[in-house]
Chains A and B, each alone.
Chain A
């Protein structure tokens, strides 16, 4: 028995060692360090952080980045384990952010900025735009208007249960549009990126996806065309908000002020996302491309009913 106990002590020592090495890496953060939770991918977020830290000596941003689903899970777990650990949340759609506001997690402050009122509320400011556009495979006629998409062959649509951008589109188009697509043989896949991949590869002839993803694939050489059908590409803004429980309010506000400033917006544009500041340069967008804006307030209350109706069309 004595020897057996020695084994346990050894195991405990091993665990202790792991704890120590792990803690050594993450402690000792400077006073001006903030934690940012975001679903924006590294292509955009890394240049923004690099630029911010370079122009703000002493500022440090600790980053947790994950797709929206994981981000939600992380936030929800934080709340149940002592409180939100983020000082700032940079989300990918207004619905998610509105939910956080509703739970009293974020909001209460936004900086003065030239960003238009259409993409801000008293609790959060839109700093980047997503546009849902149509893509067609080489040889397939691009739809001039959204209803034309139904006759573009085998069509793939993103799942509004997985991607808030797709939910925004559902809110704008209504379920009839999807029922018609389904009647013409459309299928539902996962995320907008899955649509881009599937169309580029030839699994589908056309689809609905986000402009960044489509142009990025096109630029690399994928045989797809991007179109902004009438009445317009569906715009979804990614908002940023301050945590209500932050202990570094000053540093958090400083970061939010930066990403909503002209300088920050320019960096976001250069990094490959569409800025929300109207005249800041961003990625490719056809001249005079038509754009439509879903009514996010209405969507917040209709979400459940919409998804239920939608499930009857592409249900699983």
Chain B
């Protein structure tokens, strides 16, 4: 494990410690006089309260929903199961900055539902709307982690035994399934909480009209008027305080979690889950259809209609349809940027898979835990601030290159790759790994031959999430790019800023199209996995 630990710590130093140290230094050297003012101001207190409210609400909403969906979708006899499993992931395809718009377009005053049924959701612009949208968009992650957890942790034989002995489904759920899933649920909850603390685009667009400002929206405002050093330093200080607040909440949760993970059970080998009744299946199908229609169907439809409509505010009828928005996205410049974005996302996702696996392999050792905490810091750090840390730290040598963008993606998404893998990894037969090493296999060989096959669903999930997120990342790239390293989202947003909704919608549709290809490939890969006698197929990402 020495080499793995060295690699993990070296990467964490480059990706997390140095950028953070740079930020802390800037904040301390230039802003320590004003620290008390910043922390003591009523505006800061209200921002902290709002951020905590948002994150708590989003976690309480997203986790039960994600768990319920994962449990519902493990029933192999559920009609259209493969479709539901892919459809649940839809929100991952849409960049954050378009999600808020798509919800407003779908449900706010004069939105889609108001045109179709005369119904508008007036509370959408405010804390309730922000929490719901942020929650809905983290549900796919919860689902993935729980599904991976089900694949690697749950024990169908025990469940069937319980059912055979007369326990009802609710009892089985309460006494067997959920306790076994506890680590996965806790992992998912921590991740949703952290992501919600760092969420920016949705609070900015949907929360601002109701005066619901969070720490992240304050950071953005400080940077916008940050041409004087004071605003810039305050933005950095706020970002660091956001990290501290998140740590205060998350670290105890992680410590509690650590103890529970020491269960040493054998991996499940049985894919034959107890089937649910016909009635349950009908109810589940209807509920899934409704949920997906509300959370993905209508917002995506609103986005699609915006992308083909010639102007905002005109009815989306065939007379008003146009391809102009797509033509604006598909220029030679965007072609280059698109291929660059795809390559960057591929590189980032692949390296992240390695980094995530290494961090997970370190497991609960002290080194492993340090790495796990370190990489959570950059996940919660707002993209703009992380980019500033990288620029100050490495800008002298790397400014304007794709390398600095790649470093930003790796730093931001490492935890996102690590968590799903680590949620699955502690069920690994460590004996197998040990045996391989003792028999002379090097760490890479041991990982590839012993660990990878067992972890395939988790690895697929981690890779997919990282690839998608990197593909439409804009906050960091727009700060770090230079001539010759523009990413797709940067080029499109520079042409229109965020106001060009039609063009931005077309970008999302295009990105969705770009993603459907590799996703289909992954799906096919997952399907071949099902037929193997593996423990993991029931919860595989897209099997």
Contact = CB atoms under 8 A, between A and B. Distances in A.
B138 interface: no
B204 interface: yes
Nearest to A45: B494
Contacts of A14: 351
Contacts of A74: 391, 479
Interface stretch (B67-75, B76-84, B149-157, B206-214): B206-214
B224 A72 contact: yes
A62 to B, nearest CB: 4
Given A76-B229, A316-B211, A220 B3 contact: no
Contact of B310 (A5, A137, A190, A221): A221
A223 interface: yes
B43 interface: yes
Interface string B456-486: 0000000000000000000000110111110
Contacts of A43: 495-496
B482 A64 contact: yes
B395 A81 contact: yes
Contacts of B351: 14
Contacts of B2: 1, 4
A15 to B, nearest CB: 8
Interface in B434-460: 442-445
Contacts of B443: 3-4, 7
| Of B2, B354, B442, most A-chain CB atoms within 10 Å | B442
Contacts of B500: 193
A103 interface: yes
A70 B478 contact: yes
A291 B10 CA distance: 59
B208 A316 contact: yes
B101 to A, nearest CB: 8
Contact of A72 (B227, B481, B498): B227
Interface residues of A, number: 83
B392 interface: yes
B205 interface: yes
A23 B399 CA distance: 10
Contact of B311 (A80, A217, A311): A217
A167 B231 CA distance: 15
B391 A4 contact: no
Contacts of B478: 66-67, 70
Interface stretch (B104-112, B139-147, B290-298, B420-428): B104-112
B388 interface: yes
A124 to B, nearest CB: 13
What are the 7 A-B residue pairs with the smallest beta carbon separation, nearest first? A193-B499, A3-B442, A4-B3, A202-B110, A316-B213, A22-B401, A220-B311
Interface of B: 2-4, 6-7, 10, 26, 43, 46-47, 50, 101, 104-105, 108-111, 125, 204-205, 208-213, 217, 220-221, 223-229, 231-232, 235, 310-314, 320, 347, 351, 354, 384, 387-388, 391-396, 398-403, 406, 442-445, 478-479, 481-485, 494-502
Interface of A: 1-8, 11, 14-15, 18-19, 21-23, 25-26, 41-43, 62-70, 72-78, 80-82, 85, 95-97, 99-100, 102-103, 137, 154, 156, 159, 161-164, 167, 187-194, 196-197, 200-203, 213, 217, 220-224, 303, 311, 314-316
Given A21-B402, A69-B224, 4 more contacts: A25-B401, A82-B396, A222-B311, A316-B211
19 contacts: A1-B3, A8-B10, A14-B351, A18-B406, A41-B496, A67-B478, A76-B226, A77-B388, A77-B392, A78-B399, A80-B392, A81-B396, A99-B228, A187-B209, A194-B498, A217-B312, A217-B313, A316-B43, A316-B208
